[in-house]
Amino acid sequence: MWLWAALLLALTTAAYYPGLGGDFLFDDYPNIVTNERIHADAIDLESMRRAAGAYESGTYGRPIATISFAIDHATGGMDPKGFKTSGLLVHLLNTILVFLLLRQLLDSRDTPSGPHTRLAFLIALLWAAHPLQVSTVLYVVQRMETLSLLFALLALNAYLKGRLAQARGATGWPWLLAVLPLTGLGLLAKETAALVPAFCLALELTVLGFGAKDQRVQKAWIMVYSIAVAAALLAFLVFILPVAAEPNAYEGRNFTLLERLLTQLRALPLYLQWMALPLPQNLTFYYDNYSVSRGLLDPPTTLFGGLLLAALAFSAWRLRSRLPLFSLGILWFFCAHALTSNVIPLELVFEHRNYFALLGFLLAATELVRIIPTRDGPAIKRFAVVTVACFAIFLTLLRSAAWGDPFHLASQLVAINPGSPRASSDLATLYVGMAHGDPESPFYSFGMREFERGSKLPGSSPLPEQGLILMAASTGQPVKDEWWDSMQEKVSTQPIGPQEIMAVTGLLGQRYKGIELDDRRLSKVYGTLLSRREMPAQLYAQYGDHLLNYLKDQDSADKAFARVVEMSREDPGYISQVAASLLSEGHVRQATAMLTRADELGISLPER
């Protein structure tokens, strides 16, 4: 078995190796590149503690993942290859755990174990080296997803081992007790580990059937899961759904709660299409231009997608005894999307959400292949499966090679999805970097044209306008009024999401670095941003500082720093910190106004 495991690791490594030379991408920047809390210089207790609270709020949301980023930084600096290599190592560990999980599942049948190892190898290889996985394995920030699944897979292996022992009449509780701490560790990497109980329930409904030699144990499991399902439904209805239904829950999105749920009726079949036919033109990485379903027939594929999903769910339920692995695969696919395709106001579509769901698809497909009758024996099936595996590895090599070359990747993403504003922005940014600040370089004009094209795409954020303004300002070229006007229009009318915030605050950050900008235009767009929705206190403080130091507008600065106080009710220390900074800079009026406002709101400040 271990020779098969070694071959599995070798083939998987070969499939992803061409992509290790790629660069950081999209969410890598706020989470890693510009997040100073994970920029550890040494692997020591203080650096790891700081990395554990790597988010702006300082909370310990995903400490295992952020600590792993800090270790990468301490050992290799900001070289993306080191981060990507670590991500591949985590994926290799997951591949072995998937292989072991499949062996247990297949060995639970009353058939010889020899063929099970080969079949487990093929399924694990298809899972590990599937082209869809490239954007999870080589996208550095998705270490959160892969680390979370590592612990989830450990928990599933332990659960299955313990339950199979109980089915034989042996002691399984030591393995089962390990499930809880393993799941807890997974939650410290990403919240998707919370799905482990759902995956275990799917095992019980299909392969395990709540079986145990001791009837009391069997009844206990049925009772435990009945109570757990009831509690989960109650928690969803009482705590999760009301929050998602609040008027401002989808404030930064261009869709409503209902529209999100309707769109998932198309998104889940789309994921199945990717799994079955992972051609390069089907995998565009960015889906920011994915259309929203406004109704069951708008577009009509919404209804058709819903019918397909209903048919799959019905099949899984009806065939859970006759074809348990088929049913398990379908249930695992649905369970894997129970968080990201639900009421939480996340973006509509992402490839990495299928990291574990792909295994469910492969299990169901394998079971269907198994029951297909053949006149000439199983050889033709084996040949077909091996051919599919080879083709998948070939496609993964192609995709990995593209990910290993930043310009090739950016060009490819724009070519296959020209309507994506994010893909356009990536390509334009690369062109600007290739120009090295030379306005006479052809790459400079390429970058400007691509930014201008991207700025006019439907749903485009203000990031292209930010790029145009900074390109011109940093090279001494004139900044066109139409760029400021377009940014102002977008900030005034579009939902305020992360990209809108990044575009405006990024301009202010560059202003502080010495780039000459039109401060009145910058102040106007920044003020509009802050007026559209509540923001963290730090943004009001930055705005007030800009008003004081660049526009000398004391009245507006007073209001901005008052908002700092109002947004810092739960963090009095920050109020004191800002007030002290203002005093040290000679802004006594604003510091006094902050302290007065704090007294009015009954905020008790630390001694100063």
What does the pLDDT look like over 363-416, one tens digit per residue? 999 999 988 887 766 778 888 888 999 999 999 999 999 999 999 999 999 999
46 and 187 in a single domain? The answer is: yes
Query: What is residue 384's predicted lDDT score, i.e. its pLDDT?
Result: 85
Q: Is the pLDDT of residue 231 over 50?
A: yes
Residue 525 lies in a domain: yes
439 and 386 in a single domain? The answer is: no
Alpha-carbon distance of 461 to 451, in angstroms, equals 11
Q: Average the pLDDT over each of 383-392, 423-432, 509-518 and give the range with the smallest value.
A: 383-392
168 and 293 in a single domain? The answer is: yes
| Residues linked to residue 241 through DSSP beta bridges, in sequence order | none
| Residue closest to 395 by CA, chosen among 292, 545, 519, 274 | 274
| Domain boundary, last residue among 533, 548, 582 | 533
Give mean pLDDT, residues 546-564.
Answer: 94
Residue 42 lies in a domain: yes
**How far lies 165's CA from each of 168, 258, 548, in Å?**
5, 44, 70
DSSP, residue by residue, 454-483: HHTSTT--SHHHHHHHHHHHHTTPPPPHHH
Query: What is residue 115's predicted lDDT score, i.e. its pLDDT?
Result: 76
3-state class of 342 per DSSP?
A: coil
DSSP, residue by residue, 77-129: TT-HHHHHHHHHHHHHHHHHHHHHHHHHHHHTSSS-SHHHHHHHHHHHHHHHT
371 and 472 in a single domain? The answer is: no
Determine the number of helices (DSSP H) and then strands (DSSP E) in the chain.
29, 0
Residue 566 lies in a domain: no
Query: What is residue 385's predicted lDDT score, i.e. its pLDDT?
Result: 85
Q: Mean pLDDT score of the chain, rounded to an integer?
A: 94
Query: What is residue 58's predicted lDDT score, i.e. its pLDDT?
Result: 47
Q: Tell me if 511 sits within 8 A of 517, measured CB to CB.
A: yes
Pull the structure tokens for residue 393.
């590895």
264 and 202 in a single domain? The answer is: yes
Find the angle CA(215)-CA(220)-CA(221) to the nearest 5 degrees.
100
DSSP, residue by residue, 14-66: HHHGGGGG----TTHIIIIIS-GGG--SS-SHHHHHHHHT-STT---SSHHHH
Alpha-carbon distance of 214 to 212, in angstroms, equals 5
444 and 305 in a single domain? The answer is: no
Query: What is residue 56's predicted lDDT score, i.e. its pLDDT?
Result: 53
Terminus-to-terminus CA distance in the chain, angstroms? 67
381 and 430 in a single domain? The answer is: no
| Domain boundary, last residue among 504, 533, 562 | 533
Residue whose token pair is 């004191």: 576
448 and 375 in a single domain? The answer is: no
Pull the structure tokens for residue 428.
């334009």
Alpha-carbon distance of 142 to 154, in angstroms, equals 19
Residue 418 lies in a domain: no
452 and 393 in a single domain? The answer is: no
Give mean pLDDT, residues 189-216.
Answer: 95
Pull the structure tokens for residue 166.
């109980």
Q: Is the pLDDT of residue 340 over 70?
A: yes
Residue 11, domain extent? 2-402
Distance of alpha carbon 242 from the chain centroid: 24
Residue 503 lies in a domain: yes
Q: Is the pLDDT of residue 145 over 60?
A: yes
Distance of alpha carbon 75 from the chain centroid: 25
Each residue's pLDDT tens digit, 280-322: 999 999 999 999 999 999 999 999 999 999 999 999 999 999 9
Alpha-carbon distance of 564 to 566, in angstroms, equals 6
217 and 257 in a single domain? The answer is: yes
| Domain boundary, last residue among 517, 533, 549 | 533
Percent of the chain whose predicted confidence (pLDDT) is above 90: 89
Number of domains forming the structure of the chain: 2
Higher-confidence residue of 377 and 27: namely 27
Give mean pLDDT, residues 217-222.
Answer: 94
- Could you count the other beta carbons within 10 Å of the beta carbon of residue 481? 10
Residue 590 lies in a domain: no
**How far lies 484's CA from each of 140, 205, 256, 447, 466, in Å?**
33, 58, 29, 18, 9
430 and 391 in a single domain? The answer is: no
246 and 181 in a single domain? The answer is: yes
Query: What is residue 60's predicted lDDT score, i.e. its pLDDT?
Result: 61
Residue 574 lies in a domain: no
Residue 571 lies in a domain: no
